[in-house]
Amino acid sequence: MTAHVPAAAHAPASARPRVGVAKFASCDGCQLTLLDLEDELLSVVEHFEIIDFPEATSARSAGPYDVLFVEGSVSEPAHLERIVELRRRTRHLVTIGACATAGGIQALRNWADHDAFRAAVYAHPEFVHSLARSTPIAEHVAVDAELRGCPIDPGQLVELLTALTTGRRPQLRDEAVCMECKRRGVVCVMVSKGMPCLGQVTQTGCGAICPRFGRGCYGCFGPREQANAAGLARHLQMAGDRPREEVGRLFAGFTAYSEPFRSMVTELGGTRTGREAAPGEPAGTTGGKA
Ligand code: SF4
Ligand code: SF4
Ligand code: SF4
């Protein structure tokens, strides 16, 4: 996975940057965050020329784009060529959401038997042209900035758009969710209730929504820089007397394919096979848990 904000948002090429939204394997929830901005929506249209956004308008454009928001993971053969072509026509490529930045929940198949999954779900799996692995966009092309979460946070989206209009670097904190708990005076669910929580290894940005509602964080914003996932996994096993596979399953969520969560899932199990297939290796041939 790329760094949280790998490049500064340089000054836009034109007075009113041309913006597109592209979808890969995803549920559209992150695109909807853009439409849900409500109070800011008129200002967004005032400052950006939306030239391609299938969720919102029937107008189409092949670019070029000053900014392209990409939602979803690379999940089928046609995606491989399409993302490279879109990158060629884009100045700033921004990935939005856990699918685009981490491979999404659909990346759980990276530890499973892809053909068996297809056969279990579809009456005619031969018509489903999916790749054996679901991968983040940054595994295929350079990404200029990324917004995490499932879905993304409206506040972070506004901050990124504001930075793009002014030509400054977006201010997106690289902190653990725990910091949000402390700032908001949220009682720690791990300490007070003994619940498992991934907040200390997860990137902030959501305002600690889950702990605020009395449940543990399940890591939808993905791992923060230098997250000690192995240390947390050891603690969760010892303190809660939890089987290793149960702890592995805690990391096997929307951002399971991001390191170091990926290593935890592979080492501890928590998926059907517990062992990730190497690129090019048929999934499901790798035996049991490591
Ligand atoms: S990250 Fe979540 S909300 Fe966004 S497209 Fe993927 S599944 Fe949907
Ligand atoms: S509830 Fe979770 S995120 Fe909040 S302080 Fe405790 S461990 Fe950290
Ligand atoms: S607390 Fe964790 S799981 Fe809940 S929204 Fe925030 S990052 Fe996602």
Share of the chain above pLDDT 90, in %: 78
Q: Is the pLDDT of residue 36 over 50?
A: yes
Is 230 contained in some domain? yes
Boundary of a domain, candidates 166, 190, 212: 166
Is 290 contained in some domain? no
pLDDT in tens, 200-243: 999 999 999 999 999 999 999 999 999 999 999 999 999 888 99
Is 71 contained in some domain? yes
| 124 and 257 belong to one structural domain | no
Cβ(206) – ligand 2 distance below 6 Å? no
Q: How many domains does the chain have?
A: 2
| 81 and 204 belong to one structural domain | no
Q: Is the pLDDT of residue 7 over 80?
A: no
Boundary of a domain, candidates 145, 166, 187: 166
The preferred substitution site among 71, 106, 258 for testing ligand 1, maximizing ligand atoms within 8 Å of CB, is 71
Cβ(268) – ligand 2 distance below 6 Å? no
Which one of the ligands is nearest to 204 CA? Answer: 3
DSSP-derived pairing of the beta strands 90-96 and 145-147:
parallel
| 41 and 115 belong to one structural domain | yes
Residues with CB under 6 A from ligand 3: 177, 202, 206, 208-210, 217-221
Q: How far is the CA of 219 from the centre of ligand 3 (A)?
A: 6
| 67 and 187 belong to one structural domain | no
| 149 and 99 belong to one structural domain | yes
pLDDT in tens, 57-99: 888 899 899 999 999 999 999 999 999 999 999 999 999 999 9
Q: How far is the CA of 226 from the centre of ligand 2 (A)?
A: 17
| 32 and 138 belong to one structural domain | yes
Return the number of other C-beta atoms located less than 10 Å from residue 166's C-beta: 12
Q: Is the pLDDT of residue 13 over 90?
A: no
Which one of the ligands is nearest to 196 CA? Answer: 2
Question: Whole domain around residue 69: which residue ranges?
Answer: 18-166
**Angle between helices 244-251 and 261-268 in degrees, nearest 10:** 150
Q: How far is the CA of 81 from the centre of ligand 3 (A)?
A: 33
Is 89 contained in some domain? yes
pLDDT for the residue numbered 60? 87
Is 287 contained in some domain? no
Cβ(217) – ligand 2 distance below 6 Å? yes
pLDDT for the residue numbered 57? 86
Q: What is the pTM of this model?
A: 0.89
| 33 and 162 belong to one structural domain | yes
| 78 and 207 belong to one structural domain | no
Is 275 contained in some domain? no
Q: How far is the CA of 155 from the centre of ligand 2 (A)?
A: 21
| 50 and 97 belong to one structural domain | yes
| 162 and 182 belong to one structural domain | no
Q: Do residues 71 and 53 touch, judged by C-beta distance below 8 A? A: no
Query: What DSSP string describes 65-131?
Result: EEEEEEESBB-SHHHHHHHHHHHHTEEEEEEEHHHHHH--GGGGGGGS-HHHHHHHH-S-GGG----
| 219 and 150 belong to one structural domain | no
Is 47 contained in some domain? yes
Which one of the ligands is nearest to 209 CA? Answer: 3
Is 1 contained in some domain? no
Which one of the ligands is nearest to 214 CA? Answer: 2
Rounded-to-integer distance, Cα 90 and Cα 186, Å: 41
CATH, residue 40: 3.40.50.700
| 243 and 162 belong to one structural domain | no
Q: Is the pLDDT of residue 10 over 50?
A: no
Q: Do residues 115 and 125 touch, judged by C-beta distance below 8 A? A: yes
pLDDT in tens, 236-287: 999 888 999 999 999 999 999 999 999 999 999 877 555 565 555 444 333 3
Boundary of a domain, candidates 166, 186, 203: 166
